Structure 1
């Protein structure tokens, strides 16, 4: 459970929503920095043993890089690290990439993007899915890593209809308990109210036979296991896929912008609700992934958003798949 200090601090930027909207502030473009270029096509296929994993881009937003983005490092150091990698230093591009696991007849979507609630450069998941030859009705299971809006807003459209009508929606029990708690919502700072409301818009009327809560480290489907990685949010969860001796880790928001937070795992992004817990789990998971040489995919990683992680100095460097 978050301490009061973490709970209040989280409201500053982590879960702040624009007034009257369900769009988190980090998912809104800053017009002074131009428009990010979206990948075309918006999907990429990869084999993991006998299973296919498809990266499905939901879009990209561009936000200014300010003092608040990395909470425990001077902006000059942050800009210097970006410059050393040939990246812009005055703004950050934030991609959104759910993943689809195709295992025989099963089609399991991991996270859902911003849906109809983002700007013009987001909400591309269904387009990417169609480009890959699939439809929303093909999805039988949706796995949710955590309840930030850019991961859950694609579940329902603006009319309130279910976007994936045949799918079970599986959610971390710890995450669901946090965001659906009435007392916690009542006590939340103003900056977090929109996030609580968004969660309720998404899940409160979901049929009981559709919504499935799962425990930490549970097997969710053959070869797919949940991995508790609490810190970014109280129930933040990763997913580990194993097939024919090969592994794929979906690391969700374990690190936002790997060029910063994989290279410096102890840096704290403004979106982490419990920065201390997030730092510890970030190092533990990256060490586990590099030791096994597993493929990984990150929701906010540069498209195609999967590759491998290698030790680099005191941190890790993301090596995108070719």
Structure 2
């Protein structure tokens, strides 16, 4: 077996660079211009007879706050980022809503950050509608827009940039407990300044009279459309909901924000993200759900998992580990 040293590799690189400077008899050709953009971000798979389309809403990349994980010091979080080859002090958050075609109903679960954010972020986020269209899904054909909880990255896409309805022909299905909490004027008046106060204001902004005309609340344990059942997973918010999509002998758990990014919060389920309204309850929910996923060997669709955000999970140390499902060129 040949052993290569760093000197060997550097010498080879220098030789390759020198070779490119040698004259050739053939005429020079203009270099192809760089594309400068990604292709449309969507991926499709089947759960029994149900077709699921993951259409990414893009990502958000930002400087990580000292309290991003409220019960763990930032240097420990940075060490965890280094383990997965990510930059210290920076957080990259993917957004991955899905569309579900049962044959009789076309639904989406969560709406992404919205067209306004597409413009604000120069196309880095707010891509959901654009990617749905690229996948051949007309937003006007959506029958039901299912909302998991009332954080902006899951519900702001209910509205277009001009405040018109993104899904004008859709019923908007929302968790009863979530809707009750965020639409309660008393709860709003008691909200602490900062993030919670801002969330309340954003909920009232999104739920315009036109939106409210289309709102229908759902209860946990109920089937929302054929094959899609709501699950109570509180802690992240009071009415935070997840979903089981099942058809025949196949099923997938749509976890919404049971965990945030998996490389931190799947691997460290005891870490409390500052997004979690009740950290202790969110942790208890997280462990209950992930123990079930491991025991049942059920795939999980994670909103904040890297695209296309479908994975298996296994026990790992005191937590869990996500294993991305192999890309399938067939549906």
Q: Same fold (TM over 0.5)?
A: yes
- What is the Cα-based RMSD across aligned positions, in Å? 1.6
Looking at structure 1, the residues matched to 259 and 270 of structure 2 have their Cα atoms a distance apart, in angstroms, of 10
Instruction: For residue 312 of structure 1, report the CA deviation from its aligned partner.
Output: 1.0
Equivalent residues in 2 for 1:36-55 (5 A)? 40-55=39-54
Per-residue Cα deviation, 1:78-127 (whole angstroms, up to 9, x for no partner)? 12222222222231111111011111131110000111232221110111
Instruction: For residue 207 of structure 1, report the CA deviation from its aligned partner.
Output: 5.7
Looking at structure 2, the residues matched to 207 and 255 of structure 1 have their Cα atoms a distance apart, in angstroms, of 28
Looking at structure 1, the residues matched to 156 and 298 of structure 2 have their Cα atoms a distance apart, in angstroms, of 29
Per-residue Cα deviation, 1:188-237 (whole angstroms, up to 9, x for no partner)? 22323332121112224136652110112211111111000000011000
Change in 2 beyond 3 A, CA 1:238/1:148: same
Change in 2 beyond 3 A, CA 1:38/1:74: farther
* 1:307 alignment partner, SS class: strand
Looking at structure 2, the residues matched to 38 and 83 of structure 1 have their Cα atoms a distance apart, in angstroms, of 27
Equivalent residues in 2 for 1:311-322 (5 A)? 311-322=315-326
Is 1:75 the counterpart of 2:74 in the alignment? yes
**Structure 1: gaps of 5 or more residues:** 1-36
Per-residue Cα deviation, 1:253-304 (whole angstroms, up to 9, x for no partner)? 1111110110010100010000010000000001111111111111111111
Looking at structure 2, the residues matched to 288 and 39 of structure 1 have their Cα atoms a distance apart, in angstroms, of 36
Change in 2 beyond 3 A, CA 1:287/1:40: farther
Change in 2 beyond 3 A, CA 1:213/1:204: same
Equivalent residues in 2 for 1:87-102 (5 A)? 87-102=86-101
2:158 to 155, 158, 163: 155
Looking at structure 1, the residues matched to 291 and 39 of structure 2 have their Cα atoms a distance apart, in angstroms, of 33
Contact 1:39 1:57 (8 Å CA) reproduced: no
Change in 2 beyond 3 A, CA 1:111/1:39: farther
Contact 2:110 2:145 (8 Å CA) reproduced: yes
Looking at structure 2, the residues matched to 237 and 181 of structure 1 have their Cα atoms a distance apart, in angstroms, of 19
Contact 2:115 2:127 (8 Å CA) reproduced: no
Number of equivalent positions: 286
Looking at structure 2, the residues matched to 207 and 277 of structure 1 have their Cα atoms a distance apart, in angstroms, of 30
Looking at structure 1, the residues matched to 78 and 237 of structure 2 have their Cα atoms a distance apart, in angstroms, of 26
Which piece of structure 1 moves more, 72-81 or 172-181? 72-81
Q: Which residue of 1 aligns with 2:11?
A: none
Looking at structure 2, the residues matched to 161 and 298 of structure 1 have their Cα atoms a distance apart, in angstroms, of 28
**Structure 2: gaps of 5 or more residues:** 1-35, 327-331
Q: Which residue of 2 aligns with 1:293?
A: 297
Is 1:269 the counterpart of 2:268 in the alignment? no
Contact 1:43 1:54 (8 Å CA) reproduced: yes
Change in 2 beyond 3 A, CA 1:199/1:84: same
Instruction: For residue 38 of structure 1, report the CA deviation from its aligned partner.
Output: 8.2
Q: Which structure has the larger Rg?
A: 2
* 1:309 alignment partner, SS class: strand
Looking at structure 2, the residues matched to 143 and 269 of structure 1 have their Cα atoms a distance apart, in angstroms, of 24
* 1:279 alignment partner, SS class: helix
* 2:209 alignment partner, SS class: coil
